[in-house]
Amino acid sequence: MLDMVINSIILFWKGRLFQDLGHVIKQAVIGMVIAAVIVIAAVKAGLALWMAIVIASLISGAIQPYLFKDLKYA
């Protein structure tokens, strides 16, 4: 198991883990932007920062499977 993790890390840093690294980065940025917008909106609405972060984390974590459903490995 540890060997698989180490191999995946090595392939990632060499840029050979994903078929289309640009697509992976784009989808990750979309997830981060959604989380940031939720945090900012929740804080502006009067929620405590910790509560806004928890809510944004749950929502952005829930959308990750949708964002990465077409992920292809090399």
15-65 tens-digit pLDDT: 888 888 899 999 999 999 999 999 999 999 999 999 999 999 999 999 999
53: buried, middle or exposed (CB in 10 Å: 19+, 13-18, 0-12)? middle
pLDDT at 72 over 90: no
Write the DSSP symbol of residue 5.
Answer: H
Q: What is the DSSP string of 6-71?
A: HHHHHHHHHT-SBS-HHHHHHHHHHHHHHHHHHHHHHHHTT--HHHHHHHHHHHHHHHHHHHTTT-
Q: What local confidence, expressed as pLDDT, does residue 34 receive?
A: 97
Q: Where are the domains of the chain?
A: 19-74
Q: Which amino acid is at 48?
A: A
pLDDT on residue 36: 97
Report yes or no on whether pTM surpasses 0.95. no
User: Looking at residue 15, what is its pLDDT?
Assistant: 82
Residue 16 confidence (pLDDT): 86
